[in-house]
Amino acid sequence: MRPALSVLLLTTLIGAAQGLLLTLAGTELAVRVGAVALPSGFLLLGSVLVILLSAAGLLASFFHLGHPERAWRAAAGWRTSWLSREVIVLPAFMGAVALYGLARWSGHGAALLLVLLSSVLALALFVCTGMIYAAVKVIREWASPYTVVNFVLLGGASGLTLAAALAAFTASDVTPELAPTLGRLALLATLLAGASRLAAQWRNARLVAKTTLQSAIGVRHPRIVQRSQGAMGGSFQTKEFFHGRTPAQVQRIGWVALLAGLVLPLLLLAAGAGVALLTGLAFVLQYLGLLAERWLFFAQARHPQNLYHQTIG
């Protein structure tokens, strides 16, 4: 399928925000059990970053709507639509994080309860976003438990890396061991997310198509080639259901996703888990790699309609 930049930005930005919020919740719990001293500035700045990233993702989502003024109607189908549920959960998540940030800023005792509520909403948002695609049975690359798992793990890894960078940049506010600890956790989360995504790629590469040109038109000839889609130019199908890149270009994007999203962040985190510059660079590279990974997620989804509209003619 043809990936829309707005969707790539939406899913990666809110994924990083959710991962960061879950890290803040873990830090709050560590404070309550006495494992670390209270890093107020880190937690407050983190909550602000979560809201900014979520707002940027929400803003990006409007650019792939034909009628943005009707966006509110997307929530109407919440009983059956995962997209509608995402539309409801995302602003609820942002509202809960805003309340948590206010509680942390004022020193209110409800901060822990609010961050735990935000964590529940973050996990629900991961499920809603992943199920938008996992529920599409006709696209077998998406119809897999890997889809939701990868949204959770990749978002969690990027959020942890961002948290490690933020802790390192606010070193005067946090206990010395917080930034290195978060950096090591980000390294482990990135390894886990990378392994899960590679497993999904291996699974998708082994899928055998259930629909062929022969089965579609009832002709058993061993070699059937589509020469034209029956029109003089492009159509909605060729513009929206095919990415238009050559196999060599797709392979290069795959290398970008692997190197920038997995290998280089791992090396940087291993070299300096508590160093601000290295963890910050690791997050930037990882985010660029996640954009490439998300492009592949959409581009490698083989829709059956492409059997009939591969060539303009």
pLDDT tens sequence for the chain (313 residues): 778 899 999 999 999 999 999 999 999 999 999 888 889 999 999 999 999 999 999 999 888 777 777 777 888 888 999 999 999 999 999 999 999 999 999 999 899 999 999 999 999 999 999 999 999 998 899 999 999 999 999 999 999 999 999 999 987 776 788 999 999 999 999 999 999 999 999 999 898 877 777 777 788 888 877 766 655 556 676 677 777 788 888 899 999 999 999 999 999 999 988 899 999 999 999 999 999 999 999 988 887 776 666 555 4
In a domain, 312, yes or no: no
In a domain, 21, yes or no: yes
Domain that holds residue 273: 5-307
Extract the tokens encoding 118.
Answer: 């935000």
In a domain, 313, yes or no: no
> At 60, which CATH number?
1.20.1630.10
Task: Kindly tell me the burial class for residue 32, based on how many C-beta atoms sit within 10 Å of its own C-beta (0-12, 13-18, 19 or more).
Answer: exposed
User: What is the four-CA torsion angle of 37, 193, 243, 138, rounded to 10 degrees?
Assistant: -120
Extract the tokens encoding 204.
Answer: 């998708």
Q: Residues of 93-109 as b/e, b for ≥16 C-beta within 10 angstroms? A: bbebbbbbbebbeeeee
Give yes or no for a contact between 277 and 171, defined as CB atoms under 8 angstroms apart.
no
Task: Kindly tell me the burial class for residue 81, based on how many C-beta atoms sit within 10 Å of its own C-beta (0-12, 13-18, 19 or more).
Answer: middle
In a domain, 180, yes or no: yes
How far is the C-alpha of 10 from the C-alpha of 4, rounded, in Å?
10
In a domain, 9, yes or no: yes
Residues in the chain: 313
Backbone φ and ψ for 300, nearest 5 degrees, come out as -85, 0
Extract the tokens encoding 260.
Answer: 């920038």
Give me the number of domains the chain comprises.
1
Give yes or no for a contact between 7 and 133, defined as CB atoms under 8 angstroms apart.
no
